[in-house]
Amino acid sequence: MKNFYKRGMLIIMFLLAMALLVMLAMGQAKAATLSPTIYFYQQEITGKVSEPKGKPLEGVTVFIKNKRVGEVTAADGSYAIQASPGDTLIFSFIGFKSQEVAVGNQSTINVVLNEDIASLNEVLINAGYYTVKRRERTGNISRVTAEEIDKQPVISPLQALQGRMAGVQITSGGTNPGAASTIQIRGVNSLRSEGNYPLYIIDGVPISSIPVESNSLLGNSGLDPLNNLNPANIESIEVLKDADATAIYGSRGANGVVLITTKTGLKSSKGLEMRAYTGISYVPGKMDLLETPRYLELRKAAYENDGIEPNASNAYDLLVWDQQRYTDWQEYAFGKNAEVTNANLAFTGGKDLTSFRVGGSWFSQGTVYPGDYNYRKLTGNLSLNHSSQNKKLNLQVSLNYGLDKNQLTGDLNVGALNFLPPNAPALLNDDDSLNWTEWAEAGIKNPLEGFFNSNDIQTNNFITNAGISYEIAKGLTLKSSLGYTRYDSDEFWKLPARSYNPAGNPINRSVHLNSVRKSWIVEPQLVYNVRFGKLNMDLLLGGTIQENTNSRQSLQGIGYASEALIGNLAAAESILNAQNSTVEYRYAALFSRLGLNWDKKYYLNLTGRRDGSSRFGPNKRFANFGAIGTAWIFSEESFMKDHLNFLSLGKLRASYGSTGNDQIGDYGYLDAYGATRGPGGLFPTGLANPDYSWEINKKLEVGLELAFWNNRVNLGGSWYQNRSSNQLVGYTLPAITGFGSVQANLPATVENRGTEIEFSSINIDNLNFKWQTSLNISFPKNELVRYPGIEESSYANTYRVGEPLNISLNYNYTGIDPESGYYSFQDVNGDSRLDYQDRIIVEDRTSEFFGGLNNSLSYQNFHLQFLWQFVRQNGKLIYYNAGRPVNILSGYNTDDFQQPTQSYQGALAYSNAINSSLFTSDGSFLRLKTLSLSYDLPKQFLQRIGINKFQLFFNGQNLWTITSYKGMDPENSYDGNFIGNLRSLTAGAQVNF
């Protein structure tokens, strides 16, 4: 209890300090408006602009900040311009860092412009609670900036990151707009598929990274919680990977951290920015399936092989349906072009002490599927920064709001449509109603059942963050951030009776789902920076209190008198399955960081966090996490400087530490009863274990960073080994216990290790032409290192010790049995049956390596950037089941595959073959992921008409894929029928005033 008082006092002190800061801020804000400085007269300023070695620079733009006055330097680098003492001159030139010089009393201003290439290592990287120079970082943080994201025609910013970061693998959630992508940072850590989400932090506010539940076609992947962000408003995305970077996030850092920073008025150029693009998206390719004659030929052969006489009930495609008819079902299912349009508007302004940025955007995208559906999104954002005259007090507010409306077809099983027999009858009648009769003749239901259903999902996302900081004494700053987020989704699934076969007496129905995620967070922090001679010390102490409330409501309305009334609950005959739930999650933590460096050569970074989470039983709520990071910049050592002066940076770094994972359902420890689906009943919903606790992830990393020739060539390599133990899983139990699983900590260890290499170079850099290349490549390895007693566990047939988690256990395929004509497999234990004991071949489904190669070229006003994404992995393609009433790939032949058959034995052999290496194929690919080309209209011309920048651009996505994989999209190489990525072609313009 003593501790409780201590803690209470601490909180009260923090709150008082915060209140004081707010009052101070208000006073400062008032003071700031009282003293405008006004200068009246102008004078001519002259000077010369040169590069560091003294060579004069011709063509440098010299202009006055916030005024439309500008000049260009002559061949000798000289210039002359009229300016007031209160003005600021800006010198800018391609390939060099812009420089600002306040005029003051000077009449001659000579400027030396530094080359821009050094900036890569000087850039500040967001590490969450603190920032660090890239050069000085001890941890592993990847960063992608606005230029790489903002023009891509994507809904969620995550989709723009594919191929751009080492160690970060992103898989598209499919072609329905809004589907959540999967992001994996350095592999799968948890045995639970739902325990592998990274932590998302937007402007300092954590938001849930778990996809939002949906009844719609997006149900499998869920809705991406980042959909409502505007990719064009993102300044940078940092991904924290190693212990040094993630341990300060403690129990939530195990799967890595994604930090998203939105644009502020501080860094953006002032003025109005308008941008719009439009274009189309479409499915880039189809599978090569059989046409009618060959299909029917194989079907007939099947009956011959089986010695069975086809009849109208088993061979409707041969005896009932038109033998000449041919429909390209893929064309029907996804042959449309989806239009995509985006418009962006942002205004940035402010004076010395205050700056702001306000913006909005509109985005819309159609679908490639039949029917008239679309996705629309509206976003708005505001960012405000203010500091007091003496710069001691800083105030920062950011607001991000997004609203989207996703209209989807309610039920459309594209996967089933693709493989319909090519001579199958039309799905719709001439009057656009569903064709039941012709399908009924064949004894099957129309595959388009549910076609007129629609699903409207509307989501709102509001993320706000306020930060305030005050420098109490030199080097000592007290600050606090406050965040609030609210996400709600409202889903309405309309199921009119005409979507269903009249035989079932269908009625008009609606299904409603409403979910709300709310959270607030307070994070007071104390930051102290001090120097003792060559020792520099950064200290950070902070605390977090966070509360999340998630609620959902769902119900169904049935028996609407007419289709027009569907959704009007008052008109429903009855309301069914009304459910609601609210769950809470609370989280409290203390965290700290101590950053030390000696003479900018030796770095030590210690981070730690003590976490408490409500997701665990009362005795297991608290745990400590921490990490140590070190770096040695050996290029600063004199012996290196003397002998290897081409080396501009040489750094060795290493880190080790622990993070945790508390991604697990709320209240899992309670032995609880819930409502049954039927009215008036209660039942136990699962088994309870009050004693489960955190999953621990220990990360070790060693890295080497080199830069050569004045930072023109950068090379970084890192090796990591992350071990997740104390696996927190829905531990599968035999059904005799009543349920299939219980939450428990398993004595299992999963290891992810690998090597990541990042390389960048400036190949050519002269006045007119600049060419930069960057490459990232990751070699991940995943292994289940330890699992005592796996043979007796429920994972005996899922995982193997010593193998990766993502595996499939396969039969040993022994060729086609010449007698039966069917596939045959090795019966390992000779018991004349094929079961798991015969599945001796382990198929590794982890990517061997993946990465991206980016090139950006500028020639005068033209800019070209293109990114190649590459993945080396295996795949599987199974659509060779000849003889059944489904279409197959045209690559079918009787040498490699079993004879056409429709017998039970044949089907069995085929289903076993799926679990063998027979259908394994190479799933590797090289893809031209993005290509963007832009042209800036000449500045001299634009400035005359008062425009700062006018750019025309073209953007292409997934333009070209080189692969031997014959499925839809090699990105999903184990589901050949899954379309992950659309090809998009968009063009637009950007104007800055």
Partner 1 sequence: MNIKTLINRTLFLLFLASNYSCEKLVEIDSPTDKLVREVVFNNDQTAISAMDGIYNELFQADFSSGSRSSVTVLAGLSSDNVQYLNSGNINMMQFQEHEIDPSNPGNLQLWTSAYNIIYLCNSLIEGLENSSSIDAELQQQLEGEARFVRAFSYFQLVNLYGDVPLILNTDYRENALKTRVEVDEIYNLIEEDLLISSETLSSSYRNGERTSVNKFGANALLARVYLYQEDWQKAEDYSSQVINETATYEILDNLDDVFLANSREAIWQISPIGGGGIASNTNDGSMFIIDPFFSFFATLKLDASIIPEFNESDIRRQNWVGYNSSKDAFFSHKYKIDASSEFPIKEYSMVLRLAEQYLIRAEARANLGKINDALNDLDVIRKRAGLPALTEITPGIAEEELMEKIFRQRRLELFTEWGHRWFDLKRTDRTTNVFGNNPTWQNTDILYPIPAEEISKNPNLIQNDGY
Query: Is 687 among the residues that bind partner 1 (CB under 8 A)?
Result: yes
Residue closer to partner 1, measured from CB, 614 or 760: 614
Shortest Å distance, C-beta 747 to partner 1: 15
Query: Is 610 among the residues that bind partner 1 (CB under 8 A)?
Result: yes
Distance CA 492, CA 981 (A): 26
- Three-state SS string across 294-333, please? HHHHHHHHHHHHHCCCCCCCCCHHHHCCCCCCCCCHHHHH
Query: Is 680 among the residues that bind partner 1 (CB under 8 A)?
Result: yes
Amino acid at 697: N
Residue closer to partner 1, measured from CB, 796 or 959: 796
Shortest Å distance, C-beta 744 to partner 1: 9
Location of structure tokens 């199958």: 424
Distance CA 249, CA 592 (A): 10
Output the DSSP codes for 328-382: -HHHHHH-PPEEEEEEEEEEEEE-SSEEEEEEEEEEEEE-SSSS--EEEEEEEEE
Determine whether 324 is exposed, middle or buried from the number of CB atoms within 10 Å of its CB (0-12, 13-18, 19+): exposed
Instruction: Give the x/- contact pattern for partner 1 in 428-447, rule: CB under 8 A.
Output: --------x--xx-xxxx--
Which is it for the CA torsion 186, 189, 192, 197, positive or negative?
Answer: negative
Residue closer to partner 1, measured from CB, 272 or 907: 907
The total number of residues shown for the chain amounts to: 993
Query: Is 676 among the residues that bind partner 1 (CB under 8 A)?
Result: yes
The two structure tokens encoding residue 211: 């996809």
Residue closer to partner 1, measured from CB, 261 or 607: 607
Considering only residues 623-662, where is the footprint of partner 1 by CB under 8 A? 624, 626-628, 656-658
Instruction: Give the x/- contact pattern for partner 1 in 154-193, rule: CB under 8 A.
Output: ----------------------------------------
**174, 195, 483, 612: which one binds partner 1 (CB under 8 A):** 612
Shortest Å distance, C-beta 725 to partner 1: 14
Shortest Å distance, C-beta 115 to partner 1: 40
Pairing of strands 199-202, 257-262: parallel
Considering only residues 852-891, where is the footprint of partner 1 by CB under 8 A? 884
Residue closer to partner 1, measured from CB, 358 or 558: 558
* C-alpha closest to that of 963 among 844, 872, 879: 872
Shortest Å distance, C-beta 849 to partner 1: 29
Location of structure tokens 């800018």: 92
Amino acid at 797: N
**667, 859, 862, 960: which one binds partner 1 (CB under 8 A):** 667
Shortest Å distance, C-beta 141 to partner 1: 20
CB-based contact 705:651 (threshold 8 Å): yes
Query: Is 678 among the residues that bind partner 1 (CB under 8 A)?
Result: yes
Residue closer to partner 1, measured from CB, 27 or 788: 788
Location of structure tokens 């059944």: 884
Shortest Å distance, C-beta 689 to partner 1: 8
**Residue range at the interface with partner 1 (CB under 8 A); choices 89-97, 354-362, 729-737, 937-945:** 729-737
**683, 859, 862, 941: which one binds partner 1 (CB under 8 A):** 683
Distance CA 363, CA 371 (A): 20
714 forms beta bridges with 707, 760
Shortest Å distance, C-beta 919 to partner 1: 19
Shortest Å distance, C-beta 2 to partner 1: 8
Residue closer to partner 1, measured from CB, 735 or 945: 735
Query: Is 324 among the residues that bind partner 1 (CB under 8 A)?
Result: no
Shortest Å distance, C-beta 80 to partner 1: 59
Query: Is 621 among the residues that bind partner 1 (CB under 8 A)?
Result: yes
Query: Is 594 among the residues that bind partner 1 (CB under 8 A)?
Result: yes
CB-based contact 697:658 (threshold 8 Å): yes
Considering only residues 478-507, where is the footprint of partner 1 by CB under 8 A? 501, 503-505, 507
Considering only residues 535-554, where is the footprint of partner 1 by CB under 8 A? 545, 551
**194, 908, 941, 964: which one binds partner 1 (CB under 8 A):** 908
Distance CA 845, CA 263 (A): 39
Query: Is 670 among the residues that bind partner 1 (CB under 8 A)?
Result: yes
Shortest Å distance, C-beta 791 to partner 1: 7
Considering only residues 80-109, where is the footprint of partner 1 by CB under 8 A? none
User: Residue 620: left (phi > 0), alpha (psi -120 to 50), or beta?
Assistant: alpha
**Strands ordered across the beta sheet of 99-102:** 70-72, 61-64, 88-92, 99-102
Considering only residues 773-802, where is the footprint of partner 1 by CB under 8 A? 791-794, 796-797
Distance CA 156, CA 154 (A): 6
Query: Phi/psi at 651 (nearest 5 deg)?
Result: -140, 140
**140, 233, 261, 556: which one binds partner 1 (CB under 8 A):** 556
Residues binding partner 1: number (CB under 8 A): 98
Shortest Å distance, C-beta 584 to partner 1: 4
Pairing of strands 61-64, 88-92: antiparallel
Residue closer to partner 1, measured from CB, 309 or 895: 309
**Residue range at the interface with partner 1 (CB under 8 A); choices 191-199, 336-344, 524-532, 614-622:** 614-622
Instruction: Give the x/- contact pattern for partner 1 in 888-907, rule: CB under 8 A.
Output: --------------x-x--x
**337, 435, 685, 755: which one binds partner 1 (CB under 8 A):** 685
Distance CA 925, CA 969 (A): 9
Determine whether 739 is exposed, middle or buried from the number of CB atoms within 10 Å of its CB (0-12, 13-18, 19+): middle
**Residue range at the interface with partner 1 (CB under 8 A); choices 296-304, 384-392, 677-685, 799-807:** 677-685
Residue closer to partner 1, measured from CB, 459 or 592: 592
Output the DSSP codes for 860-926: TTEEEEEEEEEEE-EEE-----TTSSS--BTT--TTTSPPP--SHHHHHHHHHHHTBSTTEEE--EE
Distance CA 200, CA 383 (A): 20
**38, 570, 735, 945: which one binds partner 1 (CB under 8 A):** 735
Residue closer to partner 1, measured from CB, 681 or 747: 681
The two structure tokens encoding residue 551: 């609620």
* Helix ranges restricted to H, 78-131: 119-122
Considering only residues 444-463, where is the footprint of partner 1 by CB under 8 A? 444-445
Residue closer to partner 1, measured from CB, 779 or 811: 811
Residue closer to partner 1, measured from CB, 576 or 785: 576
Distance CA 931, CA 951 (A): 16
Distance CA 929, CA 950 (A): 26
Shortest Å distance, C-beta 610 to partner 1: 6
Shortest Å distance, C-beta 586 to partner 1: 5
Query: Phi/psi at 595 (nearest 5 deg)?
Result: -110, 125
* C-alpha closest to that of 654 among 628, 636, 625, 626: 628
Instruction: Give the x/- contact pattern for partner 1 in 969-988, rule: CB under 8 A.
Output: --------------------
**22, 516, 640, 733: which one binds partner 1 (CB under 8 A):** 733
**25, 526, 742, 968: which one binds partner 1 (CB under 8 A):** 742
Radius of gyration over alpha carbons of the chain, in Å? Answer: 31
Measuring CA to CA, how many Å separate 993 from each of 71, 943, 952? Answer: 18, 9, 15
Location of structure tokens 């101070």: 24
Considering only residues 563-592, where is the footprint of partner 1 by CB under 8 A? 574, 576-577, 579-588, 590, 592
